Structure 1
Amino acid sequence: MTRLYAEMRRGQHNVKVLHVVYQFWPTRRGAVFRTLNVIKATRQFGCKVVVVSSPFQRPAGSAGLEMLDSVRVYRTSHLGMGYGFEDAGGLLGRLRKLSALPAFAKAVVSIARAENVDLLHANGTFFTGLAAIYAGQVLGLPTIYEVRSAWEVEALSGPARWPQRAVAWLAEYAASHLATWTVYNSARLEDHYRPRKDGQSAVIYNALEWPAVPPSPPCGDPDMLRLGYVGSLVRYEGLDLLLAAVARLRAVGIPLHLDVVGAGPAETALKSIARHLGVNSDVTFHGFLEGDDLECVWQRIDVLVLPRRREPVTELVAGLKPLEAFKRAKCVVCSDVGGHREIIDHGETGLYFEAGNLDALCDTLLRLYRDPELRARIGQRAFELGRRRFGLERMARDYLVVYKAALGVC
């Protein structure tokens, strides 16, 4: 440890970190992409990285060690009794999943000891946090716990589940206050789980790898407004409101098209709404896309629309989608929920409208249709400010500050 202190004081960040994650690649979720970005950012500054995924990583039953982009990844799905990420199975299923925690915690101890790591970095939920905290106490290592979402609000909704939600909140509170340091991806999440009295916490927003120059302007008909949505198709994203806005604007002769990229439980209902509103020809549901196919859609989009409903989870969580638009110099139109307001500056990097207000959304889109220079100016400003505030270098420096503090390095 003395060697590590000396190296970090000299600016040589050769700290070895074990990331304890609930899900990892090839699962495609926002939390996984954030972990990949954290790894990429900190490795650029010399950190060494090892990963262990929880017993609920797909495919169920997998075990052992594999290499992903020269990162050693330990799989422990054999401890999960066949459960996957989505297989909650009600209260009994959740209790059975929780029973895997002791075995997983012991596995984390063994891996951390074998890899001779300097620090444990657990990425929510409390399942991974408590396992890492236990391992840190056994091995005398500092632990970072990272809170990325108020998942208990989203996953355990409804009055019948409030006791489970309360227990989950308490478990998250415990993990976030027992770790050596806690990282939140939004200030509102920190408030939700109560700020630590010792001050050993930090808010580190999402980040992406940023191009040196903005991409080329959108291609296609310059007289048509191309709207886009990229993300999960779930109820709280408010896409029914966006479809209603498309129908209203088309009814008054505004030429536009909406590209919807993503999949989720609301997909069938949204397609039915589009048919009912008579906008089938004005909306394209692409399903899940990645790589060049996804970039082709991004290239066509003029405005990314994020019409989230005002719900507890949307008030708390700052997502990745606005940043994906910023790095492509796209104008963002979003509802004024708390998660958006933390990362989007109205009139600078995007435009707000009142959540759930169809008139306000239509007025905002109509304004951008009539003023293409405004949407281009906002997109360019978003690219420039986003590179400074949400680039990987900023994220890496923020994490290195936390790592040094957790290790006691001034």
Structure 2
Amino acid sequence: MERGSDVLARSARLSGNAAMAAATASRSLREDPLTFAVQLARRFPAARTPLLAAARRARGSERELAETWLSGDLTSTRALLGEIAGRSGLGRLGAEIAHAAGRPELVADDTRIAPIARARAAWQLGEATRAIALLAEHAPKSRLHRVLRAELAMMTPGTRLRWNATDIAPTTPRHGILHLLTNSLPHTQSGYTVRSHAVLQAQRDAGLDPVAMTRVGYPVVVGKLGAAARDVIDGIDYHRALPPLLAPSPDGRLAQQAEALGRLARSVRPAALQTTTHYPNAVVAREVAEWLGTPWAYEVRGMLEQTWVASLGSDEARERAAASERFSLTREREAELASAADAVFTLSGSMRDDLAARGLPADRITLVPNAIDASLLDRRAPAPADARAALGLPREGFWVGSTSSLVDYEGFDVLLDAVARLRERGHDVRALLVGEGTARPALEAQAAALGLGDAAVFTGRVSRDAVVRHRDALDLFVVPRLDREVTRTVSPLKPVEAMASGRPLVVSALPPLLETIGGELAAAGAAVAPSDVSALSDRIGQIATQPNLRARLTSLGRQRAAALTWQRNGLTYRSAMRKNGADLPMWED
């Protein structure tokens, strides 16, 4: 039975979280109701119903556009935006949808559209000074003007964070590593949060005693009003920074983050701090570490500017963004902060090379690749047909697919084309895609147009345990990523998990994927050229019809996975941390 004090504490927490969420929402709603409604619909599907009802009262093309966007079909939305912009120009609602759908180039240069919407579009294209100039002329007292100026300052190399570090920093004894994370389990299920949890477990098993804190306002800002001040997952402590009211500006929120991290540091007295990309986390970690007088580490898991450019919805938008002021500043800022860190970790050789090209000495960068728990190698997965039967899927057929976010650059459109081509040749090949994302509606429409019917199954988002069961159901795991700047540096976790699970694997021949699978597996046929439907369909056909080839790919994959374990990574972290704090007893062998 819950004690009275626990009930009161939980009630107070709920009230505080609700007050913070309400104040933040009220501020946004008051300043720009339409923008708030569109952003709310993006984040919370349940909010789409009232917005759709309002959109149906609109006329002509804006009604069709709103209905298409709210249906989740991003590809059709982007195409329709181009048609409307070319024909009659976008209205206020159309401009907001263009921003949400990654087509800001249709708004930024159209002087018929309100200046604030054009400023937001210019910012999304990376044209930061232009965006701020528009606001300075037309809305100088707006919150957006203040926010973008603060954002620009914070991404500019040399800018330091102002925060209230008034109390005396803790002194010895020091023990453990304090992590600053963007988000975490159990409230967010993603590649980022899964890796973060694995890092924390690996460091714990290596004797580094880690504790984590997530970004200020999280997870209340993503709708988790019942969030506790601390979650314990598999024995790992995740602390939350939940102030009564979020600061209205980016630099203000980072100051709140630093204050919360500093308070936690006074309690746990860490020997070091560690954080992950992108740069706002590093800005905070550097300030708090200097105040504590401890070393800090920066784990570069991706290149923010590359991911941002890849998210845009047209070649023109991507080209403008890649040539923009914001792109250059972000690259320089990340390099500056990585250079300031006492230790730098990254996931792949291609990311290490990217950092080195920005001026960071390669010998200061430690590789900590995506990995699996060694116990996964001892697990014997069921036969794919048996796993499918347990999920209610047909036993027959040769099933190919992936467990992944469904976004454009993952290349699942290429996989569906390859499956259709094989079926035309008489092969009973079927696709299983496990996950959610902006590309899902377009992929489902593509599968229908190809006549795949029940031969293409989309599960949507599933639990962590269900991901394993669906991976077991595959005869062949495929990672068909497109050749983009972001995919040439970032290495995903899913191929390592597939290899460890005893599933043969085929990946696109991109540097981080080739590095992940290793040369022997690539030479055996586990890699094909990206975007090449013929090559992919031929390779799937070979693997489907040659049991010996499947067995070889499976055996080589398990051997490769055995070299990529979190137990090894834990020792790597310990060695790197010891290098930067060798006088600390906790890091002595």
- Give the alignment's TM-score, normalised by structure 2: 0.62
**Hey, what's the Cα distance between the residues in 1 that align with 2:180 and 2:337?**
13
Which of residues 421, 441, 444 in structure 2 aligns to 1:271? 444
Cα deviation digits, residues 221-266 of structure 1 (max 9, x gap): 8873211211000000011111111111101100111111000000
Cα deviation digits, residues 348-370 of structure 1 (max 9, x gap): 27611111111111111111112
Query: Residue 208 of structure 1 aligns with which residue?
Result: 372
C-alpha RMSD of the superposition? 2.5
**Hey, what's the Cα distance between the residues in 2 that align with 1:217 and 1:199?**
44
**Hey, what's the Cα distance between the residues in 1 that align with 2:218 and 2:172?**
35
Which of residues 221, 225, 234 in structure 1 aligns to 2:407? 234
Query: Residue 133 of structure 2 aligns with which residue?
Result: none
Q: Provide structure 2 residue ranges, at least 5 long, that are not aligned to the other structure.
A: 1-169, 311-317, 387-393
Matches for 1:261-410 after TM superposition, within 5 Å:
261-345=434-518, 348=521, 351-387=526-562, 389-409=563-583
**Hey, what's the Cα distance between the residues in 2 that align with 1:37 and 1:63?**
22
**Hey, what's the Cα distance between the residues in 2 that align with 1:183 and 1:48?**
18
Q: What is the CA-CA distance between 1:49 and the residue it aligns to?
A: 1.7
Q: Which aligned runs of 4 or more in structure 1 are off by greater than 4 angstroms?
A: 1-4, 220-223
Q: What is the CA-CA distance between 1:281 and the residue it aligns to?
A: 1.9
Larger strand proportion, structure 1 or 2? 1
**Hey, what's the Cα distance between the residues in 1 that align with 2:190 and 2:561?**
22
**Hey, what's the Cα distance between the residues in 1 that align with 2:326 and 2:243?**
26
Q: What is the CA-CA distance between 1:322 and the residue it aligns to?
A: 0.3
Q: What is the CA-CA distance between 1:20 and the residue it aligns to?
A: 0.8
Matches for 1:128-167 after TM superposition, within 5 Å:
128-157=281-310, 158-161=318-321, 162-167=324-329
Q: What is the CA-CA distance between 1:22 and the residue it aligns to?
A: 1.1
Q: What is the CA-CA distance between 1:74 and the residue it aligns to?
A: 2.0
Which of residues 215, 232, 249 in structure 2 aligns to 1:67? 232
* Larger-gyration structure (1/2): 2
Which of residues 148, 173, 176 in structure 2 aligns to 1:16? 176
Determine if contact 2:229/2:242 at 8 Å carries over to the other structure.
no
**Hey, what's the Cα distance between the residues in 2 that align with 1:239 and 1:320?**
17
Moved more, 332-341 or 372-381: 372-381
Cα deviation digits, residues 8-30 of structure 1 (max 9, x gap): xxxxxx94110111111121111
Determine if contact 1:79/1:103 at 8 Å carries over to the other structure.
no
Larger helix proportion, structure 1 or 2? 2
Determine if contact 1:347/1:378 at 8 Å carries over to the other structure.
no
**Hey, what's the Cα distance between the residues in 2 that align with 1:52 and 1:292?**
25
Determine if contact 1:108/1:135 at 8 Å carries over to the other structure.
yes
Identical residues among aligned pairs (%): 24
Residue-pair matches, total:
388
Cα deviation digits, residues 351-410 of structure 1 (max 9, x gap): 1111111111111111111212211221122112212x2112111111111111121358
**Hey, what's the Cα distance between the residues in 1 that align with 2:448 and 2:257?**
48
- Give the alignment's TM-score, normalised by structure 1: 0.88
Matches for 1:108-187 after TM superposition, within 5 Å:
108-157=261-310, 158-161=318-321, 162-187=324-349
Determine if contact 1:20/1:51 at 8 Å carries over to the other structure.
yes
Q: What is the CA-CA distance between 1:36 and the residue it aligns to?
A: 0.5
Moved more, 199-208 or 141-150: 199-208
**Hey, what's the Cα distance between the residues in 2 that align with 1:50 and 1:137?**
19
Report the CA distance shift for 1:217/1:166 in structure 2 as closer, same or farther (over 3 A): same
**Hey, what's the Cα distance between the residues in 2 that align with 1:144 and 1:192?**
18
Query: Residue 219 of structure 1 aligns with which residue?
Result: 385
Matches for 1:94-105 after TM superposition, within 5 Å:
96-105=249-258
Report the CA distance shift for 1:199/1:243 in structure 2 as closer, same or farther (over 3 A): same
Report the CA distance shift for 1:384/1:396 in structure 2 as closer, same or farther (over 3 A): same
Q: Provide structure 1 residue ranges, at least 5 long, that are not aligned to the other structure.
A: 5-13, 84-95
Q: What is the CA-CA distance between 1:64 and the residue it aligns to?
A: 3.4
Report the CA distance shift for 1:230/1:2 in structure 2 as closer, same or farther (over 3 A): same
